[in-house]
Amino acid sequence: MKILIVEDEIDLQDVMAEFLSAEGYVVEVANNFIEGLEKISLYTYSCILLDITLPGGSGMQLLQKLRGQGDNTPVVIISAKGSIVDKVEGLNLGADDYLAKPFHLAELLARIKSAVRRHNNHVDNRITYKNVVLAPDDRMVFVNDAALPLNRKEFDVLYYFLIRPEKLVQKVLLAESIWGDAIDQADSLNFIYSQIKNLRKKLRDHGADVDIQAVYGVGYKLV
């Protein structure tokens, strides 16, 4: 899968590129509006990450041009502006998602995956790891083909683990991405622990071969 990052902050560009490459994506970058426009017109990508404020033009214009050409490549807008107006405008122009800077890299990955998944809705999007299968579109989880009843939050937690099995999922990411504002950092430690405990118990009780392990108090990983 090929991803284009249109972002003028080189440091941020590097960090995203490094992370996504490690996740197995082929990453291309564009530093400004013209470069972005060139790459968009010449190549096809699985997903485009688009900054709004770019030297030489706006990410919004780029998005308009792209959609104007009838290209419906998934686009995730990444903006430091974080303003609601931008978000609404971006989504109206056909962006698939909007992520405000600063963000967790794992969150970015989750957004890319779901944008790509929604784009390929005719394809089988199910995520399989060992004997666990997660169907994002139906929000269902199966263990050995038997449905595993999970509540909404548990499903979201498992989704974050399954898109990156064997990798660290930070507690802060889970707290912020799934419970949002609800959690104070001081509480999150305990709270996430008890949520994970419940999820582990359900997985174990249903005979899943996967387990969730704590990683040095920083987060967890699915093994």
Partner 1 sequence: MAISIKQFTMRYLMIAIFAVMTIWALLFYAYILDEVYDNVDDGLRNQKINILRAVYEDPSLLQLREYAVNEFRITPLRDTVFDERNRFSHEFFYMPYDDEEEPYRVLTTMFYGPDKQTYLLEIRASTVERDDLIIDLSTALLVLYIVMISSIYLLREYIVKRALRPFRDILEALNDYQVGITTSFAPVETNVLEFQHLHQHIASMVERNAAVFADQKLFIENASHELQTPLAIAINKIDLILEEKDVPKAIMSKLADTKASLKRLIDLNRSLLFLSRIENRQFVQNELIHVNELTNELLNNFLDVAEHKGITVNVKLEADLYVKGNRDLLTMAFSNLIRNAIRYTDTGGEIRIVVDSQNWKIANSTTLGALPESYIFNRFYKGSDSIQSNGLGLSLVKSILQITPGGSVEYHFERNFHIFSISFSNS
Count of residues interacting with partner 1 (CB under 8 A): 45
Kindly list the distances between the CA atom of residue 110 and the CA atoms of 79, 156, 209, in Å, as whole numbers in the listed order: 17, 11, 23
Residue 191, number of CB atoms within 10 A of its CB: 17
- Does residue 76 belong to the site contacting partner 1 (CB under 8 A)? no
- Does residue 190 belong to the site contacting partner 1 (CB under 8 A)? yes
- Does residue 195 belong to the site contacting partner 1 (CB under 8 A)? yes
**Binding residue (CB under 8 A) for partner 1 from 1, 19, 35, 200:** 19
Stretches 31-39, 40-48, 135-143, 214-222: which one binds partner 1 (CB under 8 A)? Answer: 214-222
Q: Given the complex with partner 1, which of 138 and 181 has the nearer CB atom? A: 181
Q: Given the complex with partner 1, which of 73 and 188 has the nearer CB atom? A: 188
Whose structure tokens read 């560009």? 13
Residue 55, number of CB atoms within 10 A of its CB: 10
- Distance between CA atoms of 99 and 132, rounded to whole angstroms? 29
Q: Are strands 53-54 and 57-58 parallel, antiparallel or unpaired?
A: antiparallel
- Does residue 214 belong to the site contacting partner 1 (CB under 8 A)? no
| In the complex, minimum distance from the CB of residue 123 to partner 1, in angstroms, rounded to a whole number | 28
